[in-house]
Structure 1
C-alpha cells in the first residue's frame, strides 16, 4: 500500500482503544486515515456500527469521503453506509435534531451565519450600553483624545467588544454554563470587570437568539453535550451507531468537543493531529494541550508519522532548525514548549513519492525599508518566478487581512493573475458579482455604463480551461475584439439601439473589417441576444429572475447553489420590506461585504481549493494551513506580527485603552479561569504575551512547511527609535544567519 513509518502501524495494527497519531506537515495523515477506514470496512472490523470521522473544514469532509470511497472501490466495495464523515457542528446538528424540542421552543430553528451573528452581538452590546454607558467608557483612555476622535474611538471600542464578547460567551458555553448561570457566577465581580459585562451581554444575546429561533455554533456543541449527558438512551444509540470515532486536526479541538467525542466513542477513539500546527487559540476556544495530554496518557497507543515528501531537504532542515531554536534558545524560557520536539524526516530514495529536488539552494531572506517596499519587491520577485517557472504554483502569505490590499494593488498594477483565499473575493464571490452586474443593468437598462460593466464582467471575461496555449490566446483575442466592438457601439449608439436595432439587425458601424469578418462578431451578437432574453423576462418575480439568469448563463453546480440561496433570501427580504427594489438588490450583491458571501464561502469550501500554476495565491498564514505550493513568500516577519520578546509590540493591545486594560481579551480569559477553576494565573497581560508568542511561532512553522521547493522570507524596518517603530522579528535575523551558513556548506 506504499505506507511509511507510523502510517503502516495505524493501518495494520489499530483495532480499538485510545490511539493518537502525531503527524508532521505533509505526512499524509488524510491518506493513511482513509486507508485505515477502508481496511477496517473491507474486513468487517468496524462492525456492528459505523466509522465516524470528524474534521473541521467542509472541504476536508469531501476529501475524506472521496478518498475512502476510492479505496473501497479498489477493493470492489461500493458502499457509503459503513462510514460517516462530518464536521463537529454537522455531528452536533444531527444529535440536536433527534429531539429539537429539548433545545429550543421553535423546532424550525436555523443555524446563524457569521454575518448575522456579528449583527446580533452588536445589537446586544447596543442594548446593554444604553443602561451601562459609564461602564462602557471605563476602559477608554480619553486624556489625549479631541472631540473628533472620541466618537471614532467609541465606535472602534464597540467593534472590538463584539469579538471579545463572542469569545467570552463561547468560553462560557464551552464550559457548559448557560446565560443565567453566568450571571449568577459573575454577580460578585465589580463594575470594572469585563467578564461581568460579558455575562450581562450573554443574557441579552441569548434572548435574541431564542426569539429569532437561532442557534450559533457554540450552542450546537453545548446542547449536543447536554443531551448526551442527560439522555442515556440517546447516548447509547450513538455509541451503537459508531463503533469507532476518529478526530482529525485534533490539535484544534476544544474541551466540549473532546468530551462529546469521548462520550460517543465508548473507548474506541482515534485522534490525529500536529501540536506544532495549533494556530487557532487566539480567535477560538481551542486548546492544543488537549491533544498533547491525550498523547501522553498511559492508556493511549501512539503511532508517530514523521516522514514527509512535501518539501525539499533544505526546507525540511530549516523547519527542524526552527523547532530546535525555539525549544533550546528562545529568549523567553516559558515559550520553549510552544513547539514539540517533533522533527520532519525526508522519505527514502526508493519511495514512490520522493522529496522534490532543485539545482540550487532555494531559501532566501530579505529585510526592506517599509511594508510598501517589501510588498512591491515580493510581487516583482513573484512575477519573475512565474516567468522562470510557468508550471509552478506560487503563494504570497501575509499575517493579517489588512496587509493584503497593498500586495493586491501591486499584483493588479502588474496585471499578475491572482486568487484571494477569503470569503469575500476571488472565485468565491464571482457568482454573486455576476448576478449583481446583471440585476444592476436590468434595474436601469438605459445606462450605458451599467451595460458596459455587465458585458465586460459577465460575458467578455469568461475563463477558459484549455491545455492549448493557442486556444487560450484565441479566446483572449476574441475577448479583446468584442470589447473593441462594444466600445465602438457605445460611442455611436444608445443601449436601446444595441438591444433593439431598427429592422431587427445591428447596423454595421466603423468596426475593423477583420473583426466583422471573424467569428468574434457573430459571438458578440449571440451574447446580445442573450441579454435581450434577460431583459424580456418579467422582473416582478425577482427570485425567478435570478434562477433564470443562472440557467441562461449556464452556471455550474456550485454557482447554481449560490443563485438558489440568493433567490430564497430575496423572497424573504422583499416580503419584509415591500419597498425593496431591483436596484437595492444590485447594491447589496455588488457590496464587498454583502450578506450572501458567507454562504458562497461555504459552497466553495465544499469544493476545495486547488492552486493553479501561473496564478498567485494571496492568503493569510492561517488560511494557508492544509495547503501547499511550489514557491512560497512569507511576508511581514516583523516583531509586531511575530513577536519574540515580552518587550515587542502586540497586536492584541489596543492603544486607546488605559494601560491596565490594554489587552481586554487576556483579562477576560484570566478572570474566567480564576472564577471557574479557582486558580490565579498571575499577571494576565504577561501570560497573554507568552501565549501570543507561542502561537505565532507555530503559525510561522505552518508557513515554512507550505513551501515545496522555494521559500522567500521577508520583513521590513521603519521609524527605528521612534514611538511608532516597526522592527524585523528576531526570527528572520536567526534565519538569515542559518541560510548564510547553509549555503556555504
Structure 2
C-alpha cells in the first residue's frame, strides 16, 4: 500500500520527495507542482527519515510562501512543526543575528532600517561629507551600497582604480557603515551580508549549524544572488544534505542581482548532485505548453526540460494585429467583456505587459467599458510619483496659487531648500493669509531665509518664469515635454539604476504621448470652456481619483510580466509583442539580456491556463515617439500551427510579419540562420544574430559581436558560419 505522503504525486514528484541523495537539484518547470514537492519532501524527511523539524532549514522568497508551506506540512503530519526553521533569506538571517548579536558585532537591540530610513541616513552622511545632492544623487549611492552588499563586498574590498565615481561612492559607503554602527542600525542588505560573515568568521557557530541542520532546502534557487548562495554554501557544506528547487528557464531577475549561474554552479560545487526534472504541467493546455517550449528552446546553456500535460489540447493562441495601441486596448477590453458574458469572472483574467507605461491605454479602455481592474503590485498610471511630479509643475504654471503643487515640487529635484525653510514659507503664508508662492516672494524680499535657501528659492521662481515664457505658444504635449526636461525631473529619475529608473523614464515619455493624444473635444460639455492644460489636468485628476478595485473585488488584474511570476489565470493577454518593446530595446544587443527577455516571455506564456491572446500594434506611439514596430521574434518562434491570426480590418500597409517573415519562421529558410543564433565571422569573431531585413542573398543580418560590437552584414558577402 502506498505511503499517504505519496498519494496523488506523479512518478517524478515521488522520486524527488523520497530521494536519499546528499545533494539534489529538482528542476521544476512552470506549473509542475514544485511547492507540493517541497512540502511533501519535508514531511517525508520528518516522518520516514525520522529527522526532527528542529533539524530542517527551509528557505523561501516570501513570508506568505513560508507560512503556506508550514501550514501544509503540519496538515500532512497532523501535528505542529513549530521548531522548523522556515522563512525568507532575510527572515532567517535576522533570526541568526538576534541569536548571536554579540558574535556578529551588533548591539543586542539593533533596529532594522526600511528603504526610506536608509535613504535618510545616506542623505545625512553625504551632507556631512560636503557632497552636493545635485551632483551626487543619494538614491544612486543607496543603489551602489545595496548592490555591493549583495555581492558580499565591504568598502575595503572595492577597488576604484582612480575612478572618481567609485571612489566617492566607497567613501559614502564607509561613512554610512559608521553611522549605522553608531546607531545600532541594520538595513535589509546588511542582514544577509552580516549573517554570512557571522558564519564565515566564527568556526564554532558554522560547525554548530552545519550539524544542527541535517537537511537544507531552498526554493526558487534561480533567483538567489551572490551573497545568498555564499550563505547557503557555508551552511550546507558536506556535513549535511541539501535540496534545491528551481527553474533556469524562469530566471528573470538578473537586473536586481539574481544570478542564473548559481543553478549551474550548484552542480559543480556539489559534485555528484542528482537532478530530477518535473516536466508534467498541471496548469496549462497542451497548445500553450508547446508554444512555451518552442520559445525557450531558442536559449542556449539550458539545463533542459520539456513541459507536457495529460490534459486538453486547448484552443489555439490568438494573435491580434491592431492598427495602434488604442485599438489594441479596446480589443483586449472587448474580449474580457465577452469572457464575462459567457459566465466567467473578471478576476480570472490578466493583462500582462513588458513596460509599466503600457498600462495607461489599457486603463483608459477598461474605464470606458466600466470594467473593474487592479494594478497588481503597483500604482495606476496617474498615481505614479514621476507623473504626479510633472503634473504638479504643470498645475503651478497654470495657477501659482496651487499650494499642493508648490509643496510637491519646490524642492523636487532637490535644490537646497531644507524643511526649516519650507516651514518658514508656510508660517509666512498663514500670517499674510496668502498662497505659498506669494509667501516665498515675501520671505525673499524681507530676507527671512539664509542665503543658500534664498538663492535656491529665487532659482525656483526663475525656473517657473522661464518655463512660462518658453512654453507660452507650445501645444500641450510640447509643454509637458519641456517641463520634464527643464525641471530636472528626467535627469533625477535617470540616475535611478536598473528597471526602476527605466520604468520612470518610460512613464514620463508616456505622459507626453497621453497629452499628444488628448482630445479636448471629448471632455464633458461643462468642461469645454477650459484651456487644453486645464482640461488635461482635470482629466488626470479624475483618472487618478477613480480608484482601482479593492483586492477582494472581482476585477481584471493588470501587471508587468515580471510581477506575474508565480501567478496563473484562465485568460491571459500579453500586450505589445513587438521588437524593441518585447524584447525590450535595452536588451536587444546583449545576448545575456536577450536570453533573459526570452525567459520572461516563457514565464508570461505559462501564466495562461486555458486561453492566451498575444496582441501587437502596427503603429505605436509610445515613450513619446511614433513607430511602426515589427512583430516580436518570440511570436515568430512559436509554430504557426499553434496560432490563429485575428485581423478584423485591413489596416496600415506594413504587414504584420515584417521583412517577409511568417509565423513559425525565423527568416527566409534558404539561408539556414535563426534569430538568437551564435555565428562566427572571419574578421569580427563570435556574435549573436539580432534581426534580419529582406530575403534571399541580399538579406541584411544584424549581429552583435562579442569583440566588435553591433554590425549589419549582407548575407551574400558575410561568410558566416554557425557556432
- 1:3 Cα offset (Å): 1.6
Report if the CA contact (8 A) 2:107-2:184 is conserved: yes
Could you give the per-residue CA deviations for residues 64-100 of structure 1, whole angstroms, max 9, x where no partner exists?
1121111112xxxx12145221001111001111232
Deviation at 1:49, TM superposition (A): 4.6
Q: Does 1:702 align with 2:603?
A: yes
- Structure 1 stretch 713-722 or stretch 253-262: which is displaced more? 713-722
Post-superposition Cα deviations, 1:697-721, rounded to whole Å, max 9, x if no partner, equal 1111100000000001112243799
Change (3 A) 1:166 1:625: same
**1:190-232 Cα distance to aligned partner (Å, 9 max, x none):** 33xx433432332344344445533122111110011111112
Match of 1:149 in 2: none
1:201 corresponds, among 162, 172, 182, to 172
Is the CA contact (8 Å cut-off) linking 1:249 and 1:272 kept in structure 2? Answer: yes
Give how far 1:389 is off. Answer: 3.9
Aligned to 2:612: 711
CA shift digits 1:453-479 (9 cap, x unpaired): xxxxxxxxxxxxxxxxxxxxxxxxxxx
2:24 equivalent in structure 1: 19
Query: CA deviation digits over 1:595-646, x for unaligned, max 9?
Result: xxxxxxxxx9xxxx8x97x521112111111110100011122323323xxx
Among candidates 298, 307, 313, match of residue 286 of structure 2: 313
Matches within 5 A, 1:666-685: none
Deviation at 1:342, TM superposition (A): 1.9
1:356·1:708 contact (CA, 8 Å) conserved in 2? Answer: no
Unmatched runs of 5 consecutive residues or more in structure 2: 1-6, 382-540, 545-549, 646-662, 665-723
| 1:405, distance to aligned residue in structure 2 (A) | 3.4
Compared with structure 1, are the counterparts of its residues 80 and 132 closer, same or farther at alpha carbon in structure 2 (3 Å cutoff)? closer
Question: How many Å separate the matches in 1 of 2:593 and 2:566?
Answer: 21
Q: Deviations over 1:334-369 (max 9, x none)?
A: xx34x553210213xxxxxxx3565xx241112334
Aligned equivalents of 1:620, 1:237: Cα separation in 2: 43
Match of 1:601 in 2: none
Q: Give the alignment partner of residue 287 of structure 1, picking from 243, 248, 259.
A: 259
Match of residue 408 from structure 1: 363
Cα distance between partner residues in 1 of 2:185 and 2:631: 44
Tell me which residue corresponds to 1:730: 632
Given that 2:280 and 2:308 are in contact with CA atoms closer than 8 Å, whether structure 1 keeps it comes out as yes
CA contact (8 A) 1:22 1:272 kept: yes
- Number of corresponding residues: 471
CA distance in 2, matches of 1:356, 1:113: 47
Shift of 1:302: 1.1
| Corresponding residue SS for 1:263 | helix
* Distance change (3 Å), C-alpha of 1:372 and 1:98: same
| Counterparts of 1:178 and 1:642, CA distance in 2 | 37
Question: Please, which of 14, 34, 46 is the counterpart of residue 29 of structure 1?
Answer: 34
C-alpha change, 1:26 and 1:105, in structure 2 (3 Å) is closer
Question: Which residue number corresponds to residue 629 of structure 1?
Answer: 569
What is the TM-score of this pair, normalised by structure 2?
0.59
Q: Which fold has the larger relative contact order, with Cα–Cα distance below 8 Å and residues 6 or more apart in sequence?
A: 1
Structure 1 residue 51, shift from structure 2 partner: 1.5
Partners of 1:310 and 1:649 in 2: CA distance: 31
Unaligned segments of structure 1, at least 5 residues = 137-157, 328-335, 348-354, 427-589, 594-603, 652-684
SS in 2 for 1:303: strand
Q: Indicate the residue corresponding to 2:150 in structure 1.
A: 174
- Which shifted more, 383-392 or 100-109? 100-109
Question: What does 1:415-564 correspond to in 2, within 5 Å?
Answer: 415-422=370-377
Q: Give me the TM-score of the superposition, normalised by structure 1.
A: 0.58
Equivalent residue of 2:231, what SS?
A: helix
* 8 Å CA contact retained: 1:367, 1:728: no
Change (3 A) 1:378 1:122: farther
Which residue in 2 is equivalent to 1:642?
A: 582
Q: Contact between 1:173 and 1:222, CA under 8 Å: does it hold in 2?
A: yes
Alignment check: 8 A CA contact 1:639 1:726 kept: no
Q: 1:716 to 1:289 in 2, by over 3 A?
A: same
| Distance apart, 1:742 and its partner CA | 7.4
SS in 1 for 2:214: strand
CA contact (8 A) 1:42 1:72 kept: yes
Structure 1 CA distance, aligned partners of 2:53 and 2:335?
A: 57
RMSD, aligned CA: 3.5
Kept in 2, the 8 Å contact 1:366–1:714? The answer is yes
